[in-house]
Structure 1
Amino acid sequence: MHNTHQIADLPSLRKQKILLLLERDGKVMASELVDHFAVSQDTIRRDLGELANAGLLQRVHGGALPRPKDTGKDYFTRVSETNEIKMHLARLAASRAQDGQIVLFDSGTTTLQIAQSLPRNLTLTAVTSSPLIAVALAEHPHITVILAGGQLNPATMSATGHEAVRLIQGIKADLLFTGVCALHPQIGISSLHYNEVAVKQAMLDSASHVVAVTLADKLGASEPFVVAPCTRIHTLITEQSVAPGSVESYQQMGIEVVQADD
């Protein structure tokens, strides 16, 4: 970024420029914006906060990301929208499943696509708290499906509560496929929904190997409710086009990072 002193004291123009930089780069860092506009950290922090409150970007530690494209959309709307990148990531994840395994499927549209991407000849036992994932897996002739029950969360279309947690705690799985609302090197895995935290934690505790699948805009982001540290993930599958430096911190934790070819 290059210094732009002439607009440093014009807040409205500065915020417009921040949005343009965000659109161009896919991410903005507060420290770089301070240098770019020759203003204080407090000024940039205030600008980012005002833009976030207006719903124009998503605040993350040290900067900001674009608002997720599915913000405000219900589960079925998100399921119906085709995303070629997400489908490609789902196929990469599905290739990790092996015959004879016990596999946990977390809730979410990404894990639903993973379930739909499994080979038809694969033989395994699948455990999930998502009725829609259970239905998708039931179409596979060689997959035994165990559905955890409990109170249904309409936002995620998954079961929550003590019943679901107890069932998952009683299973020792070989593999967990999990989508993530947000993943931050320091904050960890976090969720937008409090009532799904316990189920996600139980799944992480019950799996020998955890595969997390996420688009680039979830990296470096955070949501209100922390699930677990990043080190609970063994393999992270994400897209090739990520902001510079987005994956190195996860690799330094010993996480295998797989970036899909564009």
Structure 2
Amino acid sequence: MELSPRQVEILRLLKANAGNVSSTELTEHFAVSVQTIRKDLNELNQQGLVNRVHGGIQLPTQSHNLSFSNRQVIHLQEKKQIAINLAEFLPEGASIFLGIGTTPQQLALQLLHHPGLTVVTNNLNAAVALCCNPNIQTYMVGGRIRATDQDVVGEDATNYFRKFQVNYGICGTGGISAQGDLLDFSPEESHLTQTILENCEQRILIADHHKYLRSAPLKSGHLKQIDRFFTNQLDAPLAELCHQLSIRVHTETPPAADLSQHVRQL
């Protein structure tokens, strides 16, 4: 289910209020009925994006990610635009790592007419999509298939990535903390992300803005390791952090006006 504009704004308000907001505050902010807000909150709760508590909602504390099928449709338009921008950036003949997640899957779909790449991936959906482009040479890792995530993980998969040194390492993330930590949901995911970041010339993070302040239990890296960040928009604190770390940010939507000079656009 794609989020409505009001639901997107509810999530923004939730983050802006340190992860807690009351139903009364939301009904007053949007000037709508309690029943309307309750329906929005129920839908957000069902998608795992908020926790319902007495009188309002909180940001969820998550130890497990949503299923791949659910993540495929959440924030789909944002993910597509991120993928379009990155596909246009990647030069012909480059080699890339393509990690797990639904945004990397969207990138693979946008590469169907790319003039040529070498891709190493553990993302099953990405590999299937890339097979449709005869100009792309795709290497698929071996290992354990996670049915709920539709990817391949484990030590065999991680070791296979280590055999390569590519131009661009492209990875998603489960969440980004206020301090800039890149978060994942399992040790296997974390090891793969670390391996991608360690075996490439340029490190690219792709994540929609909803990943900022989203919790996950494991640290896989930090924004200071990232060279380029492809996203749809930035919250002001994250934009400032990226500026401090000299990360080249590619986004279709400018961040807060006072920080826009710090963010380089495509």
1:95 and 1:244, CA in 2 relative to 1: closer, same or farther beyond 3 A? same
Q: Which has the larger radius of gyration?
A: 1
Structure-2 residue corresponding to 1:92: 85
Q: TM-score, normalised by structure 2?
A: 0.71
Q: Does 1:176 align with 2:169?
A: yes
1:57 and 1:31, CA in 2 relative to 1: closer, same or farther beyond 3 A? closer
Q: Does 1:257 align with 2:257?
A: no
Cα distance in 2 between the residues matched to 1:117 and 1:73: 24
Cα drift, residue 182 of structure 1: 0.7
Cα drift, residue 124 of structure 1: 1.3
Residue by residue over 1:173-210, the C-alpha shift from the partner in whole angstroms, topping out at 9 and shown as x without a partner, is: 10122111111252511112232111111111111112
- SS of the residue corresponding to residue 95 of structure 1 reads helix
1:172 and 1:27, CA in 2 relative to 1: closer, same or farther beyond 3 A? same
Cα drift, residue 59 of structure 1: 5.8
Q: TM-score, normalised by structure 1?
A: 0.72
* 2:117 aligned to which of 112, 116, 124: 124
Does structure 2 conserve the Cα–Cα contact (< 8 Å) formed by 1:27 and 1:243? no
Cα distance in 2 between the residues matched to 1:52 and 1:77: 17
How do 1:207-226 and structure 2 match up within 5 A? 207-226=200-219
Structure-1 residue corresponding to 2:13: 25
Cα drift, residue 223 of structure 1: 1.2
Structure-2 residue corresponding to 1:244: 236
Gaps of 5+ in 1: 1-20, 34-50, 61-66
Cα distance in 1 between the residues matched to 2:217 and 2:197: 19
Gaps of 5+ in 2: 1-8, 22-49, 255-266
Cα drift, residue 232 of structure 1: 1.5
How do 1:2-13 and structure 2 match up within 5 A? none
Amino acid at match of 1:253: L
Cα distance in 1 between the residues matched to 2:20 and 2:146: 40
Out of 217-226 and 78-87, give the one that drifted further.
Answer: 78-87
Aligned pairs, how many?
A: 217
1:24 and 1:89, CA in 2 relative to 1: closer, same or farther beyond 3 A? closer
- SS of the residue corresponding to residue 144 of structure 1 reads strand
